[in-house]
Amino acid sequence: NAGVTQTPKFRILKIGQSMTLQCTQDMNHNYMYWYRQDPGMGLKLIYYSVGAGITDKGEVPNGYNVSRSTTEDFPLRLELAAPSQTSVYFCASSYAPGVGTNEKLFFGSGTQLSVL
């Protein structure tokens, strides 16, 4: 099983450039999430989606956009990249929160992004 797949694994952007981080899952999970992880900090929620066509902001949404046109895919868009967006980005999915062990998150392997 592939689980949660993220691409690319590494990327260097120049200030002001834009890019899309791709995330796809093959577990038919309703919920999908984007987190960022900075050195020495906990994972911070950027955006999440409870199903196709439905997205909502997390703790740190500024500078990012998302869309969810299918159950499988949840891309994260960075517009006008800034050095503060240098981080490791993780996509995750779950069946549903509050539903026993079905609420556990499955994470992708991450995208390391540097904005210079």
Partner 1 sequence: EDQVTQSPEALRLQEGESSSLNCSYTVSGLRGLFWYRQDPGKGPEFLFTLYSAGEEKEKERLKATLTKKESFLHITAPKPEDSATYLCAPGGSNYKLTFGKGTLLTVNP
Whichever of 5 and 67 has its CB closer to partner 1, that residue is 5
Give the one residue of 7, 69, 70, 109 binding partner 1; rule: CB under 8 A.
109
101 binds partner 1 (CB under 8 A): yes
Concatenating the DSSP letter of every residue in 70-102 gives: SSSB--EEE-S--GGG-EEEEEEEES-TTSGGG
Give the one residue of 1, 14, 41, 116 binding partner 1; rule: CB under 8 A.
41
Tokens 């869309």 belong to residue: 67
58 binds partner 1 (CB under 8 A): yes
| 24, 34 Cβ separation under 8 angstroms | no
98 binds partner 1 (CB under 8 A): yes
Q: What is the C-alpha to C-alpha distance for residues 38 and 42, in angstroms, rounded to an integer? A: 7
Residues binding partner 1 (CB under 8 A): 4, 35, 40-45, 48, 58, 90, 92, 97-98, 101, 103-110
